[in-house]
Amino acid sequence: MITLRPAQDRGTANFGWLDSRHTFSFGNYYDPSHMGFADLRVINEDKVTPGQGFGTHGHRDMEIISYVLEGALEHKDSIGTGSVIRPGDVQRMSAGTGIQHSEFNASKTEPVHFLQIWILPEAKGIAPSYEQKTFTEEEKRGQLRLVGSRDGRDGSITIHQDVNLYATALQEGDKVSHALADNRVAWLQVVRGAVQLNDQTLTAGDGAAIAQELQITLQGASKDSEVLLFDMAA
């Protein structure tokens, strides 16, 4: 069963410096029918104007993943980590027992466009930590590249939950397939372009909850498409 979450149905927030789209309930947007999916709690698509960003604020007991589409996002936190996240980078911050951090557009002239993803951790009270890795376009082209996993295998970032996170970049006509094991579900998020998911077409910003499917097939339906796929325990 595939249940679409169209981009235009997402929650919205616009503060001038921030234009955000919420796949699931977040902040002032509340929809009891869209509180998350399995252990996936938040997918926010954020666009931040030059030189602006989120000032220092706190999180606890959450796996927070940043995935930049355009521009550069500057990150600083209370455990001494500081970095700039660019397209191709995947950053994981485990809030655990508590962490303070800030996120700002690293450019004074160009906007930054990124996804902020929250995943519920498998245990509360873990030590805060941070990890960032780069995955090239070539690694994702025409294949599902594992970029996050519970055990950090194949060079992926480590996520403290039973989640396999894949990224793929597809040209028109490119195909990839993914089998779902028993008691597994998946969430697909179209990052850019358009794809055919089995017999349904999805475009940028669309998501899909996938359950009770043995296999899914993705086919590029535009010149440049990019997709994230979360394979999770049901």
Any idea which of 89-103, 106-120, 141-155, 162-176 has the lowest mean pLDDT?
Answer: 89-103
Q: Model pTM?
A: 0.95
Q: What is the pLDDT of residues 154-185, one digit of tens each?
A: 999 999 999 999 999 999 999 999 999 999 99
Question: Which tops the pLDDT comparison, 114 or 57?
Answer: 114
Q: Is the pLDDT of residue 55 over 90?
A: no
- What domains, with CATH codes, occur in the chain? 10-134 (2.60.120.10), 137-233 (2.60.120.10)
- Identify the sign of the CA torsion 165, 66, 73, 129: negative
Three-state secondary structure call for residue 115 = strand
Contact between residue 96 and residue 128 where contact means Cβ atoms under 8 Å apart: yes
Backbone angles phi, psi at 132, to 5 degrees: -145, 130
Q: What is the pLDDT of residues 12-30, one digit of tens each?
A: 999 999 999 999 999 999 9
The residues, any chain, with a CB within 8 Å of residue 124's CB and separated by 6 or more, are 61
**124 vs 56, higher pLDDT:** 124
CA-to-CA dists, residue 13 to 46, 80, 104, 167, 194, angstroms? 9, 30, 17, 26, 24
